[in-house]
Amino acid sequence: MAHSGGNDDRSLSRDIGALGAMSTVVAGTLGAGLFVTLGTASSTTGPSVILVVVVAGLLATAIAVNYSWMATVFPGAAGSYAYVSRTLGNRLPGFLVTWSKWLGYMAADAVLAIGFGSYLQVFFPDLIAGEGEVALVGFGLLTVLFLVNLVGSRGYSIAQNVIFGLLVVSILVLVIPGTFQIETANYQPFFTGGADGFLAAAVPLFYAYIGIAVAGQMGAEVKNPSRNLPLAMVGGTLVLTLLYIWTAAVIYGVVADYTTLADSARPLADAAETFLGANGSAIVAIGGLLATASSVNAIMAAGIKMPYSWSWDEVFPRWFSAVNDRFGSPHWSLLTLYVVSSALTFYSAGLDQAIKIATFSYLIAYFAVSVTLLYARLARPDVVERAGFDLGGGLYLSGAVGALGALALLTQAYQGSLAIYVPWLLAGLVVFGIYWYRGRQAGTDVGAILDTLPGVPSAEYDPDIQETTADD
């Protein structure tokens, strides 16, 4: 089938290098997982939360391997959307997997922006006195990062690299001196809740890894994707695991009673104060500012790729895939995310529920991509031949671990999510159905669309590996 080049004027530029992709994963994921969850998750299992971090890290690494393998075959925008739709030769499954993630991304940006305002309040308590001022600061951060992302992936990458470096330094300032203050007696008793308590802690702690595949969303903008995307996603996950283990070992080793951390709204700051005094809170606040800013930046850059890719595939309004003539950024998609996220910072009544949707949606995507990998290994030898690396039977293991692990977590994460997820999913089906019908009436060649990769110029992508089964 002929390869369509009709979207070439809407393609994206590969301006993100290995460091930018790595900082997207690490700095874009660090946040509440490090500054809050490492402490609060111990309520059911005690200091053995250190071991839970390791187990959650193994699952996260398996999922990162699955995404990395798929990314070397389909290095396009929107990650899981491209992997699922191109492997299955059908746009609908990929759309359903990513539709609710779009809502979650916009809500997450708002929550993180509010968190940024809360950390800044530590330094300016009189100036940032109430929720309105905190929301205004969050809006300011969103505005600055909107402008950063508007100038394209090059501006995003520079900003993310700088924040990444400063964030790692701020964490090391905490954990290095803390390492020398550890009292091993504080780790006893290690297991306080038995097997049930240990497993209960695994669910919230996995959320600390929830952004490990975010670099895949920007696959069309990463240089040498066959090398840099696996390096970013697998390497970044290993870096995150190391930082989480080290930090957990320090905070439980310096605090005599783990319940102090389990019951605290600011566990990392409480632990830091035991060996850094009053400076501990300030250092943690600086780290929190950097972590929330980097997460907002990464989520904003990644979140705009979903409507961009749907539009590229003609199941969403066409203007969402339009790119700025000067900067090459999908400005309408970016503007939509900015406006909605900004509005949510001032109207936060439903944010907690929307964040649950984000987590639930991430797990659905992790499950779907892991299953897609297994399907490709079993039924698509043409896809396997194009992969950038081959772990043999190891990929069956990572696929099975990723799928079963995500499914197990979904059995917990669905609680409180379905009330919003189901109506939102139905709305997505209506949107998809309208554009599918319009395309059918216009005689759209779906096969030709699937012969392209969102965000990637036609001359760069070989369509011969696509199946001919189209969704209509």
pLDDT digits (tens, 9 = 90+) for 123-148: 898 888 888 898 999 999 999 999 99
pLDDT band at 392 (very low <50, low <70, confident <90, very high): confident
- Is the pLDDT confidence value at 6 over 80? no
- pLDDT score of 470: 47
Cα 148 from chain centroid (whole Å): 19
- At 36, is the pLDDT very low, low, confident or very high (cuts 50, 70, 90)? low
* Contacts of residue 112, Cβ cutoff 8 Å, sequence gap at least 6: 31, 292, 295, 296, 299
The pLDDT value recorded for residue 469 is 44
Q: What percentage of the chain exceeds 90 in pLDDT?
A: 54
Are the beta carbons of 297 and 145 closer than 8 angstroms? yes
CB proximity list for 422: less than 8 A, separation 6 or greater: none
Does the pLDDT at position 415 exceed 80? no
Given a cut of 80, is residue 99 above it in pLDDT?
A: yes
- Kindly state the DSSP code that residue 4 receives in the 8-state scheme: P
Most confident of the following: 125-139, 285-299, 429-443: 429-443
- Does the pLDDT at position 279 exceed 90? no
At 465, the pLDDT band (50, 70, 90 cuts) reads very low
Q: Which of 299, 251, 348 is nearest to 106 (CA)?
A: 299
pLDDT for the residue 116: 87
Phi, psi (5° rounding) for residue 90?
-155, 130
Highest mean pLDDT among 111-115, 116-120, 233-237, 412-416: 233-237
pLDDT the model gives residue 471: 55
- Cα–Cα distance measured from residue 249 to residue 321, given in angstroms and rounded to the nearest whole number: 46
Please check the confidence at residue 33 and state whether its pLDDT lies above 80. Answer: no
Q: In this predicted structure, which of 110-114, 236-240, 405-409 has the lowest mean pLDDT?
A: 110-114
- Specify the pTM: 0.90
Nearest to 62 by CA among 318, 324, 399, 337: 399
CA angle 72, 337, 143 (to 5 degrees): 110
Out of 173-177, 225-229, 419-423, pick the least confident: 419-423
Average pLDDT over residues 223-242: 94
For range 40-53, the mean pLDDT = 90
When pLDDT is cut at 50, 70 and 90, the band that residue 467 belongs to is very low
Q: Report the chain's mean pLDDT, rounded to a whole number.
A: 88
Q: Is 437 helix (H, G, I), strand (E, B) or coil?
A: helix
Q: What is the mean pLDDT of residues 371-387?
A: 95
- Enumerate residues 6+ apart whose C-beta is below 8 A from 225: 14, 71, 72, 75, 219
Q: Give the pLDDT confidence score for residue 462 in this predicted structure.
A: 63
AA letter at 369: V
Mean pLDDT of 82-99: 96
Query: Tokens representing 149?
Result: 């992302």
pLDDT score of 34: 80
Judge whether residue 80 has pLDDT over 60: yes
Q: How confident is the model at residue 1 (pLDDT cuts 50, 70, 90)?
A: very low
Element (H, E) at 382: helix 381-386
Percent share of the chain, pLDDT over 70: 93
Q: How far is C-alpha 327 from the chain's CA centre?
A: 24
**For 246-269, what is the mean pLDDT?**
88
Residue 224 pLDDT > 50: yes
User: Is the confidence at residue 241, as pLDDT, over 90?
Assistant: yes
Residue 353 has pLDDT above 70, yes or no: no
Higher pLDDT, 60 or 115: 60
